[in-house]
């Protein structure tokens, strides 16, 4: 059973309610032809038919700022320690978290192009859309670092940088199909941590799942300060980006 959470601006539930309300209103106006709306009686009927729409729009206004969904915990509750300079890619190393936030601030402009497919995939997988956006930002800077969809070594493909040596990429490099494939791999990694380490807390399992996504293998046996061991800065960077994107509508 899916656990529905609340929190995070611009959730898909509010968006769905809004568009359903608009669609309902248009259907009413189509069925009730203009000839029906004559005189005072017509004006009253117009007002009556608008009531359900206004109620739904009001509901969407209440829900939209706080609607979100995730079966894997609240991303804002995760702690992301200051990033060290070990095993971390430039330009994040020199300035740590501050640099992550600066790059996230630049990446969010490009991420807006993919906001709808990100949220659609997230809803289907019961995953936080901010986490998907964070991995896209971390892996490819939302496409900025790619050459026709590939990394410099032409081994990793797409916004979320799937490794073709281990997986067959689906779709084009920036397609919803690609986002869905890689996000599904992330979910599998998190669930693998749940099975292997049932005594871990939810945040340990989530961090372990992010690490497993990065490593492309689930070979994590112990949990110390961070499941990624020497590459803990990757997880911390993803968490920092996800929290930033969540505050900005993802």
* 137-194 pLDDT, tens digit each: 999 999 999 999 999 999 999 999 999 888 999 999 999 999 999 999 999 999 999 9
Phi, psi of 168 (to 5 degrees): -85, 115
Tell me if residue 139 is catalytic: yes
Mean pLDDT of the chain: 74
Cα separation, 21 vs 198, whole angstroms = 43
pLDDT above 80 for 127: yes
Higher per-residue confidence, 184 vs 31: 184
pLDDT of residue 234: 87
**Distant-in-sequence, close-in-space partners of 109: CB < 8 Å, separation ≥ 6:** none
Across the range 99-106, mean pLDDT stands at 90
Q: Is 94 exposed, middle or buried (0-12, 13-18, 19+ CB in 10 A)?
A: exposed
**Structure-model confidence comparison of residues 135 and 94, the more confident one:** 135
The answer to whether the predicted template modeling score (pTM) of the entire model surpasses 0.85 is no
Q: Is the Cα torsion angle 172, 177, 179, 184 positive or negative in sign? A: negative
User: Residues 214, 216, 218, CA angle at the centre, nearest 5°?
Assistant: 105
Q: Is 197 left (phi over 0), alpha (psi -120 to 50) or beta?
A: beta
Give me the residue label for tokens 């859309």. 129
Q: Which of 23, 115, 139, 176 is catalytic?
A: 139
Question: Residue 61: what pLDDT?
Answer: 37
pLDDT digits (tens, 9 = 90+) for 87-100: 445 444 555 678 88
Q: How many CB atoms lie within 10 A of CB 164?
A: 13
pLDDT score of 88:
43
The backbone torsions φ and ψ at residue 16, rounded to the nearest 5 degrees and listed phi first, read: -60, -45
The predicted structure's pLDDT at residue 231: 59
Q: What is the pLDDT of residue 35?
A: 43
């Amino acid at each position: 059973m899916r656990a529905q959470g609340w929190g995070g601006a611009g959730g898909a539930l509010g968006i769905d309610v809004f568009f359903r309300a608009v669609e309902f209103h248009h259907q009413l106006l189509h069925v009730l032809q203009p000839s029906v709306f004559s005189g005072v009686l017509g004006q009253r009927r117009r007002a009556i038919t608008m009531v359900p729409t206004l109620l739904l729009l009001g509901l969407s206004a209440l829900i939209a700022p706080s609607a979100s969904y995730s079966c894997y915990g609240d991303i804002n509750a995760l702690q992301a320690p200051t990033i060290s300079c070990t095993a971390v890619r430039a330009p994040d190393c020199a300035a740590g978290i501050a640099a992550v936030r600066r790059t996230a601030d630049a990446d969010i402009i490009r991420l807006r192009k993919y906001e709808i497919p990100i949220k659609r995939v997230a809803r289907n997988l019961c995953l936080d859309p901010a986490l998907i956006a964070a991995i896209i930002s971390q892996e490819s800077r939302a496409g900025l670092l790619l050459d026709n969809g590939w990394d410099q070594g032409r081994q990793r493909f797409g916004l979320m940088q799937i490794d073709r040596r281990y997986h067959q990429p689906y779709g084009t490099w920036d397609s919803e199909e690609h986002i869905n494939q890689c996000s599904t791999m992330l979910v599998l990694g998190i669930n693998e941590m749940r099975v292997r380490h049932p005594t871990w807390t939810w945040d340990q399992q989530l961090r372990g799942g992010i690490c497993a996504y990065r490593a492309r293998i689930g070979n994590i046996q112990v949990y110390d300060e961070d499941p990624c061991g020497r590459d803990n800065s990757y997880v911390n960077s993803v968490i920092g980006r996800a929290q930033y994107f969540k505050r900005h509508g993802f």
